[in-house]
A and B are shown apart, each in its own frame.
Chain A
Amino acid sequence: DGGITQSPKYLFRKEGQNVTLSCEQNLNHDAMYWYRQDPGQGLRLIYYSQIVNDFQKGDIAEGYSVSREKKESFPLTVTSAQKNPTAFYLCASSKPGPMNTEAFFGQGTRLTVV
């Protein structure tokens, strides 16, 4: 079945450590996205990529980095520069274009700083 796989589901990080969240899709979608969700809040866009080897900063990119070396994969690294990384992270993909292009989401990764 086609879909988006995020791993791990739960992740614990010590202060000062970098961690990488995995996102893989087999939907053959060109566009991929990373969102952050804080408790009771909406989704805020961290980074997005429309095509392999290209990505753009979203609204809250500071303290995060991404790569897009393969169409299927869009890993997110939460660096030590991110001051408040505890949150729920959602990866999504979609077809290109503005119309009729709903995003398909992974199950999310819940990151906790300990």
Chain B
Amino acid sequence: AQKITQTQPGMFVQEKEAVTLDCTYDTSDQSYGLFWYKQPSSGEMIFLIYQGSYDEQNATEGRYSLNFQKARKSANLVISASQLGDSAMYFCAMRETVAGGFKTIFGAGTRLFVKA
């Protein structure tokens, strides 16, 4: 069963505007972590933002914020004031408990195109 769902294969946004990338997840754990990563065309994975399942406040890191709605099991990424350099693949990920420890699983990703 799909644990992390990103329903937007591709998104376009005008430079300087805000954009929301959707992510829903499925877990029966009480303690889990949610992450967003950016992957530019170079292939490297860049950590953007983290939200813990017990955090009551939405996480923010500069222009990135995470809209965490625990009851709906959603963890959408909001990028404010988009820049051309934001064009990349964006992956939502969840850290969950498994036999033998923990693992991080990823969604299929959303490709963001920022237009000048």
Contact = CB atoms under 8 A, between A and B. Distances in A.
Interface of A: 31, 33, 35, 40-45, 48, 50-51, 54, 56, 58, 88, 90, 92, 94, 96-105, 107-108, 110
B110 to A, nearest CB: 10
Contacts of B35: 102-103
Given A45-B105, A94-B104, A101 B44 contact: no
Interface residues of B, number: 32
A98 to B, nearest CB: 5
Contacts of B104: 33, 45, 92, 94, 103
Contacts of A43: 91, 106
B31 to A, nearest CB: 5
Given A101-B95, A108-B43, A56 B29 contact: no
B43 A88 contact: yes
A56 to B, nearest CB: 5
| In the A-B complex, the 3 residue pairs with the closest CB atoms | A50-B101, A105-B45, A42-B108
Contact of B33 (A33, A45, A101): A101
Interface in B67-116: 91, 93, 95-109, 111
24 contacts: A31-B101, A35-B106, A42-B106, A42-B107, A42-B108, A42-B109, A45-B103, A50-B101, A50-B102, A51-B101, A54-B100, A56-B101, A90-B45, A96-B102, A98-B29, A98-B32, A98-B97, A99-B32, A99-B52, A99-B54, A100-B52, A103-B45, A103-B47, A105-B45
